Structure formats: C-alpha cells, structure tokens
Structure 1
Amino acid sequence: MTTRRQFFGYAGAAAAGAAATGGAVVALDNDTAEAPVSRTISPYGEHQAGIARAAPAVAELVSFKLGTDRAGLGRLMRLWTSDIIALADGRAAPGDTAPELAVANKSLTVTVGFGPRVFELTGQRPPGLDDLPVMKHDRLQPAWSGGDLLVMVGADDAVSVVHAVRRLIADAKPFATPIWRQTGFWDSTGPDGKPVTGRNLFGQVDGTGNPAFGTPEFDQTVWSADGPDWFRGGTTLVVRRIRLNLDTWDELTRSEQERAVGRKLSTGAPLTGTAEHDELDLEARDADGRPVIAQNAHARLSHHSENDGRRIFRKGLNYVHDTGATRESGLIFLSHQADVAGQFLPLLARLDAVDALNEWTTTIGSAVFALPPGFQPGEWLGQKLLT
C-alpha cells in the first residue's frame, strides 16, 4: 500500500522532472543514464575527515572559550559528534530549527580542535604542542587569536557552512562561547574541472610544496605517532590570519613579484623550471651571477631542503573583511604537522627573519590546536581523552 507521504514524494519527484523537461516526465534507462557523483564525505575514519583533502570552497572557523569542566566537555563532544554525522549526511541534526538547510552532497566536513585549556582539564597535552611566540613582524589582535576549542566547517557552498556553524554554536551554548569567527574561500578547481593547487589574493599558486595525500611523506608530516594514546592518528593545527597589502603589492612589476616569491605567477613553476611541480634548483645563477631564486625568496626559505628536511602540510583560505567602505584582504593560513615545536616553529622563525614577502604581509591572528583522531560508528570525538 502506498502511504500518503510516499504518494506526495512520488508526485513531487514527477513535478520536478516535468519542470526540467518542459512538461514531459522522462524515465531514465538505468543502463545508459550517468549516475550522479556523490559529494558526501563520510565523517567516520581513523582521522578527522576534513584534514587530508584540499581546502574547501567555503569555510568558517570558530574559536570558543570553554565554560565547563571535563565532564561537560565530554557531553559537548557527544553532541557535536551527533551533529557532524547528521550534517555530513545532509540530515537535520537533533533540534535543528532550519532542517531544510541540511542538504546532502555538499562535501561538508567538520574538524574539531582542542586548545591549551583542554589540557589543563585533562593533563594529557600532546608533545610539541607549543604556543607560538609573538614574532617580530606579528601585529596580533586578540579578536583573531587563541581559543580553547576550534570547529572548522567546510563545504561546497556558503549556505551549508553557515547552517552547520549555527547548529554547532547552538549546541555549544551550555558549555562554550565563541570568541572569534573567520570565514574564507578557496578555488581548487581549474577551468577544465580538474583539481588545481589554488591561488591566494596575491595571485600566487599557493601550496605547491605540500606532500601528496596518502604517501608515507604525508603521513610522517601530518599524523602523530608519539605521545599519549588518545592522540595517535591526530595532528596539530596552526591558524595564522595574514593581512595582505594588495595596494603596495600591485605597485610592483610582475618580475619583482615573482622574485619575491621565487615562482612564476602564470603557472606556479619555480623560476628555474617550467612546470608547477618541477624541483627548485637553488644553485642556479643568472647572467650576473645572482641566484635565480633569491636568497630571501619565499619558495627558497620555506623549502624542506633549507629546513633540515622539515615539512608541513599547508592550506589557505582567502578572506575579505569589510568595515564600511574599507576592505581588508588576506589569507587564513592553516598548517598541519605532527609536532608544532619540531616542524612549524623553526620554519616560522626563518620566514619571520628574512622572507621577502614580509614587506607586504602582516600576521594579525594566531592560534594553535590539537586535532584528535577520527571516530568510528558508535564512538565520539575525543572519547579516549575525555573518558
């Protein structure tokens, strides 16, 4: 027997088909019709689902101040885990006041991080999770810095992100309060629809030197294999909000911009190569005997060969922040590594000292978080830490 709900479901589907085909309802041949590609990302796994993938098209990061104890934090993690499972699947989370905005196939991921306050409650701080010192070129603002908890929501569209963030903040109310929110965007798709590295607002191809997903190099760079048992398979995240001075950058010639970076703006190739992923030739000299890739070029200073083999996995999110008629543009820099102190800090110190890009960039926000490993069905985020 067909129920009333099933009847209206069939009728709605038929009406939608008629609208799309000028009034005729068309039956698709299952043998020839191309099945839609699923963009649903499973929330389950050894690692949190949003980490080992390209930057999302749209993302929002929310940092929270904790107002609860360890038991309360455990309750919040159970709530958020339930939310994450529903939202990733395109279903309304319990208590959702706008369930129609929970839509499937939006590549939605939610990543959760723990700040220093969490480890005051638990006493199980991961090794190498050091607070970042204020660097010489930093001009940090409290409005964009620190935090006890972090959620980062990414998806293919802004509506899905805004809806998910609203749900997560609502469920956090008894336990934690937002202290800053940062929204960004990234384009990781080329004109032909294939994945590309993406560009920041300076026009640079940004992130070329990353280790490839699924390789031993990636795993060694990103995932923690040491420290407390609860953190095995987790990673650390550094969030740096970097203001870009586009006005003075635009005053440079194209060759000056490329020399500061050490790469060609057209393709992202090193100045010593022709394709984006060509290796840098740091010994190459020009006709005047100068290094082709300058000693203070960003690409040279950040290269693993110049940093005792240290690597990070970086992502970027472009942002614009409007205040009346004034617009600030910049980059939300996200760095994943197993060990902040051992991998990120030495690289940051090197860049802060002499990087040519320091003339056009200013870091105005900074925070560090430990991202716990993922969860399987029947489990919840941070379970090993909080039970």
Structure 2
Amino acid sequence: MTGPSSRRPSRRQLLGYAGAAAAGAAVTGGTVALGKETPHAAEPVVARDLSPYGDHQPAVAAATPKHAELVALNLLGSTDRAALGRLMRLWTADIVALTAGRPAPGDTAPELAVPNAALTVTVGLGPRVFTLPGLTTAKPRGLDALPVMRHDRLLPAWSGGDLLILVGADDAVSVVHAVRRLVADAAPFAKAVWRQTGFWNGTGPDGKPVTGRNLFGQVDGTGNPAAGSPEFGATVWATGPEWFTGGTTLVVRRITMNLDTWDELTRSEQERAVGRKLSTGAPLNGTAEHDELDLEARDADGRLLIAENAHARLSHHSVNDGRRIFRKGLNYVHDTGATRESGLIFLSYQADVAGQFLPMLARLDAADALNEWTTTIGSAVFAVPPGFREGGWLAQRLLS
C-alpha cells in the first residue's frame, strides 16, 4: 500500500492552468515532440498524416474521414477571454502531438497515440463566445443560431454549443482517444453538452477516392467546389473580421432519415426526388456524376427530367443566385434498445452563414421533395478560426 507521497499525480495536477500555458509553449520548444519513437520497419510506411499547421485548419479542405466524432461544449461561468486563450494553447499542443501520432502532454494512455491514422482535429467557436467581455466586437457577420425551419424538430440534446471539436481519422480508436484527451483538458474551462459520431466511405472498390454515399444510397456531395480552386476559396474562406481571415463558418445539422418509407418507393421515384441517378450520381439529364445539370431538359412527354422540387435542382447554385457551400456528410446510426435511428450529420462550410447558407436552407425547407423522408433534429453553428503556424496557437489573433 502506497502513501500519498508516492501516488502518481493526476493529469490535471500535472498541467493545471500554468501547465496549459506551458503546453502551448511546448509547441515551439519541441517538448511535445518527446514520446514514443517511430519503430524501424522492414518496409517504409506511407505517411497519411496531415500537418496541423497552415493558413487554414487543415481538415476543412481534406477528404471526409472514415470515422469522426463531434463534441460540443459549453463554457463554465468562470471562463473569460484569458481562460479561453489558455484552453486554446492547451488544445493546440494536444493537436500538434496527436496528429503526428505522439502522446498529448500528460497523456494517460500514450500507447493509443499512433502515427499514420490520418487524424485531424477541427475547433470551432459558437456565438456565445462573442458575448464575453473583450470579444463582443469580434463576432463574424451572421454567426447566430439558425432560425427554426418549418420542417425542423430540433432537440436540445443535439443543438447549440459554445465550442466544437470535430475529430476524424482512419481508425476509430484514434478518434476516441483524441476526443478523450481534448475533453479532459477542457474540463477546467468547459463541459461537454452533446456528442455525435459518424462514418463515411470515400473510397471506391479500386481504392481510389469517390464522393461517397449517404444511407438513402445517394452519391452525396457531387456539386462541391474543388478544394484548392479559386471557387473553393471564394466559397469557404472568410476575409473578415481581421482575426478571422482564413477561417470559415460551420453549420452542423443532424438529419434523421426514414429509411423504411424511403424503401417503399420505386427506384425511379427515389431518383426523381433526388434529381440524380442512384447508380452513378449523374443528373437525370446526364450519364456521368459530374455532368452539368440541365434544368430545362425534358422527357418525351414534355415533363422536366429534374423535377421542380428535386433536391438537386433546389440546392443548385444556379437557382440560388450563384450561392455555393462546401458540404460534407457523416452517416450515423443511433440505437436505443431495439429502436434504431439512422441519418446524416450534415456539415456545411461557407465564408458567410447568413449570406450563403440561410437562403439555400429556406428554399429547401419550402419545397424539397426529400422533406417527406428527412427531419432535422439538431442544429448548431460555429466560427472555425484560421489555422496556426509553428510556434502559434488556435485563435491567437482573437485571444492574445
């Protein structure tokens, strides 16, 4: 039996508030690089890890991860601007270590930090952050809780939040471990209020990247601007306020899908509701996934090939005054006893929520054929700060 003096100090005792600042400083001093060494292998391992550094948080433009978890947290009453800065420094140190496959500072399960898992972490700030003293003039334009739509049935269990962490990886264990560390380090500053887990398959049978499918069987995300293109930059990256340049806004919508009634439809009825072929994702006027939608094309009977209420038509930029978003999705299932809820965690990135996303959302809520089989039960919006360089930290321009 050991006495108090021989007990191992807790992680919080090891770090504390002062430790949080020191952990952030460790990003520059190389301390976070200490950890298990990469073993020598007979054959080289192909690295799949993204650098955590850059002008933007890297996961935004990256492919949708195979496994992901989103956690929303609310700030504790004692957390002010300075304390939030301490948390961002600590999370930055965690992210730098974990995305490289090294244990986070003070990690209680260091063996679970492994390289080549394609681990990414995205951090967002909810609207209430910008009510803190010293931050009220820094709020990005239009960053407010979304209005409740006519078809919404929002539940508090999946809505709102002051902070967001979105962790993705090829390996579910890596996701669980990273979330555990980030939430533990946030404990002196914020408390988790909801968690959502999802999955996505963006790889075809030949091993090449594909768009991926939701649980309706749709190819989902075809109309996205190509990452790295000028169109992508104009759609996604904010240009102000000054601290937010290079950031973006993220809308999270939890959408249930009634798979039982969807399965009662014929295949042609399903395709008409979507406006695309289920086999390839091609528009009903075309043959390949990325063929342009011809919204005036008609069949032999003079009927529009892409119906007036088809999802593909109503979400297309040409009927939304050129507005675009960059959308991602995560399939989910949520079991309660013998009952299973299935759906999509819809993620929309755009420079301006009010100017780009809201008008499109209103149009879809008013007339989208898919409203008959889908219901939004969760909604949240976050400002995703720009990225950080080596030696810097998340939201540094906002919180320093």
The answer to whether the superposition gives a TM-score over 0.5 is yes
Provide the C-alpha distance between the structure 2 equivalents of 1:37 and 1:351, rounded to a whole number of angstroms: 43
CA offset at residue 54 of structure 1?
Answer: 1.6
Q: CA deviation at 1:316?
A: 0.2
Supply the distance in 2 between the matched residues of 1:341 and 1:229 (Cα, whole angstroms): 19
Tell me if 1:280 matches 2:293.
yes
Name the residue aligned to 2:266: 253
Cross-structure match for 1:59: 68
Listed as ranges, the gaps of 5+ residues in structure 2 are 1-36
Partner of 2:119: 108
Structure 1 stretch displaced more, 349-358 or 37-46: 37-46
Name the CA distance, whole Å, in 1 between partners of 2:45 and 2:113: 19
Q: 1:149 is aligned with what amino acid?
A: L
How far 1:260 moved relative to its partner? 0.2
Residues 100-136 of structure 1 show CA distances to partners (whole Å, capped at 9, x for unaligned) of 0000001100000000111111111011223210000
How many Å apart are 1:228 and its aligned residue? 1.6
Aligned residue type for 1:320:
V
Q: SS of 1:79's equivalent? A: helix
Aligned equivalents of 1:297 and 1:228: distance in 2?
A: 37
Over 3 Å off, 4+ runs: none
Task: Determine the C-alpha separation between the residues in 1 that align with 2:129 and 2:142.
Answer: 15
Secondary structure at the counterpart of residue 76 of structure 1: helix
Letter in 2 for 1:58: H
Say which SS state the counterpart of residue 96 (structure 2) adopts: helix
Q: How does 1:30-179 map to 2 (within 5 A)?
A: 35-67=44-76, 68-121=79-132, 122-123=135-136, 124-179=138-193
- Deviation string, structure 1 residues 4-51 (Cα, Å, up to 9, x no partner): xxxxx99x96xxx8xxxxxxxxxx6xxxx6x43211110000000110
Shift of 1:201: 0.3
Q: Which residue of 1 aligns with 2:254?
A: 241
Instruction: Classify the secondary structure of the residue corresponding to 2:121.
Output: strand
Q: d(CA) in 1 for partners of 2:277 and 2:101?
A: 41
| SS across alignment from 1:221 | helix
Conserved 8 A contact 2:127-2:144: no
Partner of 2:196: 182
Secondary structure at the residue paired with 2:296?
coil
**Corresponding residue for residue 264 of structure 1:** 277
Q: Which residue of 2 aligns with 1:222?
A: 236
Q: Secondary structure at the match of 2:290?
A: coil
Match of 1:335 among 348, 353, 361: 348
Q: Distance in 2 between matches of 1:278 and 1:114?
A: 37
Which whole-Å CA distance do the structure 2 matches of 1:36 and 1:210 have between them?
A: 32
- RMSD in angstroms over aligned alpha carbons? 1.3
Structure 1 residues 254-279: Cα deviation after superposition (integer angstroms, max 9, x where no partner): 00000000000000000000000000
Counterparts of 2:318 and 2:163 in 1: how far apart (Å)? Answer: 34
Aligned to 1:23: none
* Aligned equivalent of 2:357: 344
How far apart, in 2, do the equivalents of 1:228 and 1:309 lie? 23
Q: How many Å separate the matches in 2 of 1:281 and 1:383? A: 46
The one-letter code matched in structure 2 to 1:96 is D
1:172-225 alpha-carbon deviations (Å, 9 max, x no partner): 000000000000000000000000000000000000000001100000000001
* Separation (CA, whole Å) in 2 of partners of 1:288 and 1:49: 49
Matches of 2:163 and 2:53, distance apart in 1: 20
User: Is the CA contact (8 Å cut-off) linking 2:127 and 2:162 kept in structure 1?
Assistant: yes
Q: For 1:377, give the aligned amino acid.
A: E
- The superposition leaves residues 226-256 of structure 1 with CA deviations (integer Å, 9 ceiling, x where unpaired) of x221100000000000000000000000000
Distance between the aligned counterparts of 1:332 and 1:221, measured in 2? 20
Return the alpha-carbon distance in structure 2 between the equivalents of residues 361 and 99 of structure 1: 41
Taking structure 1 as the reference length, what is the TM-score of the superposition? 0.91
Contact 2:102–2:110 (CA<8 Å) still a contact in 1? yes
Normalised by the length of structure 2, the TM-score is 0.88
> Is this contact kept in 1: 2:274–2:370, CA < 8 A?
yes
- Structure 2 counterpart of 1:102, which letter? A
Matched, 1:318 2:331: yes
Residue aligning to 1:5: none
Aligned equivalents of 1:197 and 1:229: distance in 2? 34
Read off the aligned partner of 2:81 and give its amino acid letter: R
Runs of 5+ in structure 1 lacking a partner? 1-8, 18-27
Q: Is 1:370 aligned to residue 379 of structure 2?
A: no
